[in-house]
Amino acid sequence: MLRSMTAFARVERRGTWGQLTWELRSVNHRYLELSPRLPEGLRGLEPAARERCSRRLGRGKLEVGLRYLAASQSGNELVLDRRQAERVVAAAREIEAMLERSAAISSLDVLRWPGVAEQPEPDLELVQAQALAALDEALDELVASREREGEQIHALLVQRCRAIGELVARLRVLRPEILQRQRERLLTRLGDLPTTADPGRLEQELVLLAQRLDVDEELDRLDAHLVEIADALVRQEPVGRRLDFLMQELNREANTLSSKSPDATSTRLAVDLKVLIEQMREQVQNVE
């Protein structure tokens, strides 16, 4: 199954421990290149995150971003140490009794005292486990997106291969007609000469002309490349680089056909062939 290398996925998880958000963004690249961006407290997850991404993806430049908002940062209640608060209040009242003029102690003053109110520390192991589970979910979403786009690329490549095959078949049919037209053109030109051409020399020139215009080998190679592409499209592995190589081979044969085209019809077909190959090449650049 073909996969595109361009996709985006976002997964968010919430719990008593806080909020986690993964964002994965991938674009085409020759190899697999990972760029993780993790919060300071969860940097220890990087090796595991890299291993999970490498196991699921074959090629592409992947940006892996994680945001973490702890429960204490998301508006949850503070943990109040009532005993410590009572001790602070009792001490404050004792001080007030010793002073001639004293200001009343406020509740905020008590809360600011160390140890009275604390933000609960998150269970780091739980947060890490939740983060990795969410990453797996995000990777599932990313791979599904790449596969959906890969299906569209697959359909386009199949359609273009079919069109190329039709052009190749048409060139095979036209080849005898093209050779005959070139033969008649040469004979007409020779007939306009004031002297009579040597029949042996004439046949030799006709043979050389046929050899120069012979494109059977190029057409056979085009057919062979189309078979290779069809085989690659059903492989259950990344085939982007293989398809890219086959696009180069197709283009090479198309250039040779163009250089050997003796008339407008074959030239137009060669141009149509190169257009189809270029359309395929653009899509193949994005295949994993």
Residue pair 209/185 in contact by the 8 Å Cβ criterion? no
Question: Same domain, yes or no, for 58 and 91?
Answer: no
On whether residue 1 sits in a domain, the answer given is no
Question: Same domain, yes or no, for 219 and 270?
Answer: yes
Question: Same domain, yes or no, for 32 and 68?
Answer: yes
The predicted structure's pLDDT at residue 176: 72
On whether residue 265 sits in a domain, the answer given is yes
Q: Over the stretch 77-132, which tens digit does the pLDDT of each residue have?
A: 566 667 777 776 787 777 777 766 656 667 766 656 676 666 556 678 899 999 99
Question: Nearest to residue 4, comparing CAs of 128, 141, 152?
Answer: 152
Question: Same domain, yes or no, for 92 and 127?
Answer: no
The predicted structure's pLDDT at residue 186: 58
State the first-to-last Cα distance of the chain, in angstroms, to the nearest integer: 10
On whether residue 19 sits in a domain, the answer given is yes
On whether residue 57 sits in a domain, the answer given is yes
Q: Which domain holds residue 95?
A: 79-118
Number of domains comprising the chain = 3
On whether residue 153 sits in a domain, the answer given is yes
Question: Same domain, yes or no, for 63 and 132?
Answer: yes
On whether residue 12 sits in a domain, the answer given is yes
- DSSP at 77: P
Total length of the chain = 288
How far are the Cα atoms of 88, 150, 156, 223, 282 from residue 234, in angstroms, in the given order? Answer: 74, 12, 14, 18, 20
Question: Same domain, yes or no, for 53 and 19?
Answer: yes
On whether residue 35 sits in a domain, the answer given is yes
On whether residue 46 sits in a domain, the answer given is yes
Question: Same domain, yes or no, for 246 and 169?
Answer: yes
CATH number of the domain encompassing residue 51: 3.30.230
Going through 159-258 in order, the beta strands assigned E by DSSP cover none
Question: Same domain, yes or no, for 232 and 184?
Answer: yes
CA angle 223, 227, 233 (to 5 degrees): 140
Full-model pTM: 0.72
The predicted structure's pLDDT at residue 83: 78
Question: Same domain, yes or no, for 21 and 64?
Answer: yes
Residues of the chain with pLDDT under 70: 72-81, 88, 99-105, 108-113, 115-122, 178-214
Question: Same domain, yes or no, for 137 and 171?
Answer: no
Question: Same domain, yes or no, for 142 and 185?
Answer: no
Question: Same domain, yes or no, for 163 and 264?
Answer: yes
The predicted structure's pLDDT at residue 112: 65
